[in-house]
Structures are given as structure tokens and as C-alpha cells.
Structure 1
Amino acid sequence: MTRARRLRVSIAALLLAATSPSFALNTAAIIASALSPDCLEYRVTGLCYWLYCSWHGCSVRTSVKVRHYVPDAVVSSYSNTGENPWVEVRAMSLPNPTAQAGGDGTFNHDSENNLAKFKNSDVIGHPGGEAFRQFAAGFGYSCAGAGTAFMPYLLSTLDTVAWRYNLPEMAYPEALIPGMREIGTRTGQNLWGSVYPRGGFLHQVDDYESGAVVAQRVGDIVTRRGQVHVYQPLLAGSHDGYWPAGALVEGDASSGKWQELTPRLSNSCAVFPHGDVRTQALRGDYAWALWRPYSCCRRMGQVFLGSTDFN
């Protein structure tokens, strides 16, 4: 059995072992989750043209242009400060003097459906890079993502002013005008919440939807530059033959999609809002892998002449 096949078999075994509705989210389970053809969504999209020159003259060479999704980060959304559901990285976001308590503003009465919920959130580089590269290589040439394994891109415990006090975003038009930057719609009766203000508080009856809205908020932050938060941008620079993912936009799968990791491991990806199974976490902790689209082609010459996309 080849090394690549052994790796796929072992990852598949881990993935099957982690498909119960509730399991401890650890690095092994997250790496296994990267073995998802549905989330990968590999496509040949066009051709790239390169000028290749040697002592014998110059010629135009072509290479195949491909597009697929890459699991850039693990985005956690959880109620209790210091209790990230990804157990190996909890030490990154322990309580500190400016970020200690968590939880909801409720006594868990059935009639209490309008009190504030609060979620911490962390964006940490997906640990499955090497396993994913070998998996994607089985489909053909593959593109690199922007994420670095275990790199913290946003820890809400270090973003206290913006995350816990909604400053200054509570005064932004997106936060004040109904219908702007919302996840779902009122007319569609699937409104999960608003993207702004991009902090940890929101009003929502459904705890799963609360966690998803918070995940969308931090995904929105880290995929843009110059935001008024304490974070590192999760962005790659473009170059010849490489077109990286841009800003994440709610409801738009072409900008990114989500794979649930806990409380229920999913083998597929979706955007928020969705009608799939929504398992409520007993302790209010959720995590998703954020998959984002990249396009690239193999370098076949010294000068990149351009590319064409198939219809």
C-alpha cells in the first residue's frame, strides 16, 4: 500500500470514528475532517498561458487552471471564556483581566426568548494542511490556502473593546439599519442575525444559530484588512497563476463555506443560513472549518501571459 493511500485510509478511519453527534473536538478529528470531496469541490476552470524562452527560442506553453476550496481555519464559537471546544488550543484564549466571564443573559426559562446571548470566538489556522494537500493532489494540481496551522488569527479575549463593548461598530450604518448585512432574510423567515456589530453579543432564541452568526462575524473580520479589531488578516497575496480567496460574504458560497466540526461532525459544507441538521451544544460551544476558494495553475514558463476560463 502506498504512503498516500495509507494516509487516506487512516484519515477515513478517523473520520468515521468521529461522526457521532457529540465528541471531543481534537486535532486528529479536525485533520480527518479535511478529507471531504464535497467541501473540496475540485474543478478544472480554464487554461493559463506562459511564455517559455530558452537558447533555442521562445514558445507559448499552457497549463490547466483549477479551482477548489481549502480549509483555511477553524472558527470556534463558545459561551464559557477559556473553554474553546478544540481542546489542544484552549490555552490560547484563557480568561484575562479584561475578558473573564461568559454565558447568556438568561435563566433558561422557556418564556425568555429576547435576552442577550454572548459567545467568545477564536479563529485558528486549520491543522490539516499536509493531509489536505495529499488528498487534493489526488484530483490534480492543487492550490495553497492562506492559513497557517495553529496560527491564531483572532482571539476574542484579546479584542475586548470591540468584542465586548461593540465599539465603535455599534454606531456603523450596518448595525443601525435593518436589512443591511444580515444572515438570512425576514421575508424568507430564515433570519439568523446581523453581521454588525461584529462582537460577541446578540439576541437569538436558537443557540446554534447564535454560534453560527458569531462565526460569520469573525470570518468577516479576518478576511478583510484594516478592521478595528485585534487580529491578523487571513489573506494571501495574488501572483502569476494564483488567485487567492477574498473577503467572506454572508450567504455567498463563492466567497467561502462552513463545515461543522462540533457538536456534530459534518462531511459536507454549507453557508449560513441553512436547513441542515442543527444540533444544539449542551455547553454552548460550536466549531466550524472555514473553507475558501482558490484558483491556480502550474507555472510553465518565465512570463505569465494571462488565462482564459471555460464557460
Structure 2
Amino acid sequence: MYLRLAIASLSMCGATSSVALNTANIASSAMSPDCLEYRVTGICYWLLCTITGCSVETSIKVRHYVPDAVVSSYSNTGENPWTEVRAMSQPNSSARGGGDGTTNHDNENNLARFKNADVIGHPGGFVFSQFASASGYSCSGAGAAFAPYLLSTLDTLAWRYNVPEALYPEALIPGMREIGRRTSLNLWGNVYPRGGLLHQVDDYKAGAVVAQRAGDIVTRRGQPHVYQPLLASPADGYWPAGALVESDASTGKWQELTPALSNSCTVFPHGRTRVQARRGDYAWALWRPYACCQREGQTFLGSTDFM
């Protein structure tokens, strides 16, 4: 909570640019039927009691994805491609610089790349709510508009020095928590250690791997990072999204916002056209699955899912 209170007031103070990613086009991108993936999945049962007696009522159980956050992955510290929130992640005494350890020569492909990452609540809540409600009853997500869930400039020890995750088994054993497969020659990178440094020739893939790392952190509790969990609590008739898992669309999927705005969602790795950002800055909307049903009584009795 302290992170949000300390920074949220700065959310509208950043520089603006007519060609950069902004709040208006992020909000409008939430109207994506492909990303929404609205489905009726079952029936919920409620016990309704009045002065005349009790009865069992039913309601439809639905499942769909919600754009919880915008995850930015960018090379130059202080230059989040989402212009209105740049003031949240300006350089500080422990996080001044950024960029890659290469001059873009092919013979230097073995050098490391570095990306900052910000996870900030998606600003399209109202637009999305109207859009999703057109399909029927809709579920709320965990994200709050403009709320900072992870700012890598405040997570210096873990993000820039991989402490303590450089010693985790996932970071040391090949094949654990990787995005893609070595056997198919489509390995984009490793999830651990979840910091800003990695070795990847393709800058788009590097940005995607760092975005996945940031999403992995915020969708879990108790991680050794400076962040706020992007998680909602289960309730009667409400089943929120859980931990994000790489390459598993049932846990979350990505909508590219910049450098090329997409109207559909996917997971990493993917075979779509990859546009390389000129300044190494990328952003995706993170969509996560939620299920819910409308309350029809005082007591929730359970639910039945369709096959």
C-alpha cells in the first residue's frame, strides 16, 4: 500500500508525445473480443431466504479475461513508453542508467541486454466494463487503474543484481522455467533470475522475456522483490486469476500495445510478426482469466461447471 500512496499521485505528470503510447489508446485497446474470450461455463446455486421461507436460486457462471495491467519493458531508465506514467520510474541514486552492453554489431551478440520493467494498473477499466457487460454479467479484475505494482527502479537489488534469485535452482538448471523450447530452436529466454539482464540477440524477444518476468513476480505473493501483488481474493461466486505461468494461456495472455498495437492476445513464444522498437521500448497489456456469477441469495451453495 505504501508504494501506491507514495507514487500514484505522480501518474499524470510525465511527458507527452503525439507518437508515443498514451492512456487513450491503451484504454481503447481493451475492446478486444479475442482477448476477452467470454464464455458461459456453468451454474451457481444460492440459498435465498425471506420471511416466507427459503428457496434455491441459480445464476449463470461466466469466465472471461480482464486487462489487469500494462507491463512495459524498456531499455532507457525513465523512458517508459507509456508517456503519462513516466514520472513513476525516473532514475534515482540506485538506478541511474540502462541500455544494452552492445553496440549492435553481430559479433557482440554474446553481450547482455538490460530492460527496465514497470507493471501499472490498466487504465481502461470503464471502457472494458462497458464492453464486457455487452456480453452479459462480467467479472472484476485485480488491477486498479494507474496503480504501480512493480517499478524496477525501486527494486534495484533484485532487478539489477539478481539478488537472491541468481542462486535459485530455476536460474542455474537449464530447462527450468524457460519461455520456449531448446529442442524446437525457439527458446526466447529463461524466467529466472527475474531481473532486467539477459542474453538475447532479438530485442523484441528480450523485451517479452522481461515482461514475463515482471508478470511472474506480481502475480505471486511473498517474492523477494519490491512490489505489490496483483491478486484478488476469492469470494462466494468469484474465482480470481492466480499465478501467471509462461506459455500457458489459461493463466494469462499478452496484448501488444507498442511498438505495434494488436487487437488480439497471445502467449510467449509466438510466431507472429515481431516489430523491433527503435529505442528498445515495448509494452503489453496483461489479460488474466476470472470466473464469477451474479449473487442471487444470502448463501453460496456451490457451482456446477459444464463440460
> What interval of TM-score do these two structures reach, taking the shorter chain for normalisation?
over 0.9
Structure 2 match to 1:63: 59
The residue number in structure 1 matching 2:274 is 278
- Of 51-60 and 279-288, deviating more is 51-60
Distance (whole Å) between structure 2 residues aligned to residue 247 and residue 212 of structure 1:
18
Who is 2:193 aligned against?
197
Contact 1:23 1:263 (C-alpha < 8 Å) held by counterparts: no
Please point out which of 35, 38, 45 is paired with 1:39: 35
Contact 1:77 1:287 in 2 (8 A): yes
Instruction: Say yes or no: does 1:84 pair with 2:80.
Output: yes
Post-superposition shift, 1:23? 4.1
**Where does residue 110 of structure 2 map in the other structure?**
114
What is the correspondence of 1:135-284 to structure 2 with a 5 Å cutoff? 135-284=131-280
Secondary structure of 2:85's aligned partner? helix
How much has 1:196 moved relative to structure 2? Answer: 0.2
SS at 2:297 equivalent = coil
- How far 1:284 moved relative to its partner? 0.1
TM-score, structure 1 normalization: 0.93
Tell me the amino acid that sits aligned with residue 293 of structure 1. Answer: P
CA distance in 2, matches of 1:266, 1:277: 11
Tell me, what secondary structure is at the counterpart of 1:217? helix
Instruction: Report Cα offsets for 1:73-113 as digits up to 9, x if no partner.
Output: 00000000000000000000000000011000011112221
- Counterpart in 1 of 2:26? 30
* Matched-pair contact (CA < 8 Å) for 1:78–1:285: yes
**Does the Cα contact within 8 Å between 1:38 and 1:268 map onto a contact in 2?**
yes
Distance 2:185 2:215 in 1: 24
Q: Which residue of 2 aligns with 1:15?
A: none
TM-score w.r.t. structure 2 length? 0.94
Q: Which residue of 2 aligns with 1:310?
A: 306
Secondary structure of the 1:111 match is: helix
Matched, 1:124 2:123: no
**1:235 counterpart letter in structure 2:** L
SS in 1 for 2:106: coil
Aligned residue type for 1:51: L
Counterpart residue type for residue 101 of structure 1: G
Contact 1:118–1:200 (Cα < 8 Å) also in 2: yes
How many residues are treated as equivalent by the alignment? 290
Residue identity opposite 1:146 in structure 2: A
- Preserved CA contact (<8 Å) 1:72 1:125: yes
**Residue 90 (structure 2) aligns with:** 94
| In structure 1, C-alpha distance between the alignment counterparts of 2:265 and 2:273, rounded to whole Å | 12
Gaps of 5+ in 1: 1-21
Indicate if the aligned counterparts of 1:23 and 1:262 stay in contact, CA closer than 8 A: no
Query: RMSD of the alignment, in Å?
Result: 0.8
Task: State percent identity of aligned pairs.
Answer: 79
Q: CA deviation at 1:114?
A: 1.0
Give the distance between the partners of 1:270 and 1:23, measured in 2 at CA. Answer: 25
3-state SS of 2:269 partner: coil
Q: Does structure 2 retain, via aligned residues, the 8 Å contact 1:76–1:286?
A: yes
